[in-house]
């Protein structure tokens, strides 16, 4: 029987276990979207994970969603990331960069211009700005001719990620951000080749993945998806058909892995597992929902055919999560007030498990 602690080969990487650190926004970057020494320490502390997926990294200035997030679109950003990836590798870890274009989920106060998305439909709720949360603004609908440029931005960031020492990239195709917006049937009201039918709504995701595979290779390219998810007010019709069609195209491109979130009925997710011939990372609970992934949820999905299991919040308070899971040690609780507050408190201040003498 497969366990969390069996090794796994992912492309050219040999993972010592099947525990994946999920991408989590922590807004600790310096001005200019630069990674910092504290970020190097944070990721190196968690290098015992089989694979680390970084926080979302913007591929362009207009792609930035939140203030305080890092980028991969300037030479200075590449240089700033190198000590981070070097620290993870020095501690025996493996790390991929999650490339995240916010699309409509942004604000002029953050990026200095009107956010752009598939259509002129604002996201639901408030977005983060340098001056605090504000209502999501009306985005500008992308012109047909400029859409491929945004798809290509993922590939350009992927090249920079590899130059910065990352072992690969994960396209953020989930949770209401740009790829997810194109997949959506209410954020995407386009009547050109990027909207309407299932084939058209998956086109942007396929173009972004294809360009990235061409740039850095399929083995170094993954994608995260949230079938049926409703983050930032997105909705999707024809979820089984939409994602079956998308997975078919991703398989044709020989993408290295798919990272699925448990955002839809389990029987549909199992059908998607059967439709996807490659490596599957499963996030067994809804991100930011009331429940966190634990050993029981991980074992359940390993039994259903997932290859790797991603853990989010548990990794914040438990840098030694793999050891705690392996030895059935108690997990430390996370202080939610430290998620986005900046600084090292609630970031670098969670210790490894303290054994009694």
pLDDT digits (tens, 9 = 90+) for 289-348: 667 788 899 999 999 999 999 999 999 999 999 999 999 999 999 888 888 888 999 999
Q: What is the DSSP letter of 58?
A: B
CB 100 within 8 A of CB 85: no
Statement: residue 123 has pLDDT above 90: yes
Dihedral of the CA atoms 270, 57, 336, 316 (nearest 10)?
70
CB 165 within 8 A of CB 89: yes
User: What is the pLDDT, as a whole number, of residue 43?
Assistant: 98
pLDDT band at 288 (very low <50, low <70, confident <90, very high): low
Tell me the pLDDT of the chain averaged across its residues: 96
Supply the residues annotated as catalytic: 177
Assigned architecture for domain 8-338: Alpha-Beta Barrel (3.20)
pLDDT digits (tens, 9 = 90+) for 227-237: 999 999 999 99
Cα–Cα distance, 44 to 293 (Å, whole number): 22
Give percent above pLDDT 90 in the chain: 92
Q: What are phi and psi for residue 336, nearest 5 degrees?
A: -60, -25
pLDDT band at 357 (very low <50, low <70, confident <90, very high): low
In this prediction, residues 117-127 reach a mean pLDDT of 98
User: What is the pLDDT, as a whole number, of residue 239?
Assistant: 97
**Residues in CB range of 348: below 8 A, 6 or more apart:** 38, 41, 42, 45
């Amino acid at each position: 029987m497969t366990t969390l602690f069996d090794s796994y080969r992912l492309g050219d990487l040999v993972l010592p276990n099947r525990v994946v650190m999920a991408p989590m926004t922590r807004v600790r970057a310096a001005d200019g979207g630069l990674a910092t020494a504290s970020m190097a320490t944070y990721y190196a502390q968690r290098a015992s994970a089989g694979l680390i997926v970084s926080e979302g990294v913007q591929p362009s200035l207009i792609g930035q969603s939140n203030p305080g997030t890092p980028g991969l679109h300037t030479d200075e950003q590449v240089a700033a990331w190198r000590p981070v990836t070097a620290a993870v590798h020095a501690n025996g870890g493996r790390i991929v960069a999650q490339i995240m274009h916010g699309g409509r989920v942004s604000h002029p106060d953050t990026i200095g211009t009107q956010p752009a998305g598939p259509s002129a439909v604002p996201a639901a709720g408030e977005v983060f700005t340098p001056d605090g949360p504000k209502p999501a603004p009306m985005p500008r609908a992308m012109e047909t001719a400029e859409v491929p440029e945004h798809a290509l931005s993922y590939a350009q960031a992927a090249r920079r990620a590899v130059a910065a020492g990352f072992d690969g990239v994960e396209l953020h195709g989930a949770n209401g951000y740009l790829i997810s917006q194109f997949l959506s049937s209410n954020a995407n009201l386009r009547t050109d080749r990027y909207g309407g039918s299932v084939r058209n709504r998956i086109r942007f995701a396929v173009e972004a993945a294809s360009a990235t595979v061409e740039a850095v290779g399929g083995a170094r390219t993954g994608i995260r998806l949230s079938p049926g998810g409703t983050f930032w007010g997105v909705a999707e019709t024809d979820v089984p058909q939409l994602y079956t069609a998308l997975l078919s195209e991703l398989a044709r491109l020989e993408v290295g892995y798919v990272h699925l979130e448990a955002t839809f009925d389990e029987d549909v997710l199992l059908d998607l597992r059967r439709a996807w011939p490659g490596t599957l990372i499963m996030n067994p609970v809804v991100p930011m929902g009331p429940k966190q992934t634990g050993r029981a949820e991980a074992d359940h999905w390993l039994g259903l055919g997932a290859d790797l299991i991603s853990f989010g919040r548990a990794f914040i308070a438990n840098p030694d999560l793999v050891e705690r899971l392996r030895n059935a040690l108690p997990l430390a609780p996370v202080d939610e007030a430290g998620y986005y507050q900046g600084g090292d408190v609630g970031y670098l201040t969670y210790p490894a498990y303290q054994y009694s003498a």
